[in-house]
Amino acid sequence: MLKDIMAQNVTATVTDENDEFVFAQIDGLTFKLDKNELIKMPKMGSKISGWAYENENHELQLTKNPPKSGIDKYAWGTVVKVQRNLGVFVNIGLPNKDVVVSMDDMPAMAELWPAKGDRLMVALSVDDKGRIWGKLATDSMFHGVSDKADTSMKNKDVTATVYMLKITGTHVITNDYQLGFIHPSEREVEPRLGEVVNARVIGVNDRGELNLSLKPRAFEAISDDAQMILAALQHSQAHVLPYTDKSSPDEIKAYFGISKGAFKRAVGHLMKAGLVHQEDGLLILND
């Protein structure tokens, strides 16, 4: 039965060959195997083994180089195509076959579907017609392969892949296999399933999982003028400057080279970010 053969390492009997392929049969089904994968050419009637699949031309094929994904065996694959009425096509390492993860496993909102280049961790399943499908890794599987983080990770930058979307937030796993969670308040836009994101660690919970933010640090979010004022404060004696929103436009222009309006906006941004405060005619860098 085809279902019992596909996505498995099998043994077949060699029946024919041409310039490119060796042909072998299993239970009356003929598979081809690329000669470039063979070190030694087999004799007619001998046994040959390989991993069985149906290629993109719907031909039965064996390969000596099976993918890392398998039946109940998970590995990362790259999204190569999206077809809304079917699902997403994932490259698992076969030269002429991508597997489909069904639309039934995709988010309800189309904009949260994976895009080309995103990553999905998939195992394989075979339906009653012998078709190979990709099967998304479950939350429990990610927990099973993850490592715990410690508090030394706080404020570090991490790269992570989105593996589950919930109303409560976005679940990710980092490149170092630490689990992370992004609350909706810590992102401007909800990431896609399979999207690779760069995030900042804002906390570590008691289970060793990371709380992450996709928002920039306060100093990264401020304007160029604010960056310039912040740098001037950092390099000044005692981290204090005698300029505030009460200073004259000429004083501000002479020292900072910007208008008083631009100065007031920049200082406002710095104060809102909690980086500076004004007191007794002084602009003071916060600890």
Is residue 209 domain-shared with residue 224, that is, in the same domain?
no
Residues 199 and 172 sit within 8 Å (Cβ to Cβ): yes
The per-residue pLDDT for 215 is 86
The per-residue pLDDT for 272 is 84
- Rounded Cα–Cα distance for residues 112 and 15 (Å): 48
- Rounded Cα–Cα distance for residues 261 and 258 (Å): 8
In a domain, 70, yes or no: no
In a domain, 55, yes or no: yes
Give the domain range for residue 244.
219-285
In the 8-state DSSP scheme, what is residue 217? P
- Rounded Cα–Cα distance for residues 180 and 66 (Å): 31
Cα dihedral across residues 80, 115, 88, 122: positive or negative: positive
CATH of the domain at 112: 2.40.50.140
**Of 18, 33, 63, the domain-final residue:** 63
Is residue 118 domain-shared with residue 162, that is, in the same domain?
no
pLDDT, tens digit only, all 287 positions of the chain: 789 999 999 999 999 999 999 999 999 999 999 999 999 999 999 999 999 999 999 999 999 999 999 999 999 999 999 999 999 999 999 989 999 999 999 999 999 999 999 999 999 999 999 999 999 999 999 999 999 999 999 989 999 999 999 999 999 999 999 999 999 999 989 999 999 999 999 999 999 999 999 987 655 666 788 888 988 898 988 899 999 989 999 999 999 899 999 899 988 888 888 889 999 999 999 97
Is residue 239 domain-shared with residue 261, that is, in the same domain?
yes
- Rounded Cα–Cα distance for residues 191 and 197 (Å): 8
- Measured in degrees and rounded to the nearest 5, phi and psi for residue 184 equal -55, -30
Tokens read off for 181: 């969670």
Is residue 181 domain-shared with residue 204, that is, in the same domain?
yes
Domain count of the chain?
4
Is residue 159 domain-shared with residue 127, that is, in the same domain?
no
In a domain, 69, yes or no: no
Q: Is residue 284 within a helix (H) or strand (E), and if so which, with residue range?
A: strand 282-285
**Of 190, 213, 236, the domain-final residue:** 213
**């979307």: which residue's tokens?**
165
Is residue 158 domain-shared with residue 129, that is, in the same domain?
no
The per-residue pLDDT for 218 is 59
The per-residue pLDDT for 220 is 61
In a domain, 190, yes or no: yes
Is residue 130 domain-shared with residue 151, that is, in the same domain?
no
Is residue 127 domain-shared with residue 176, that is, in the same domain?
no
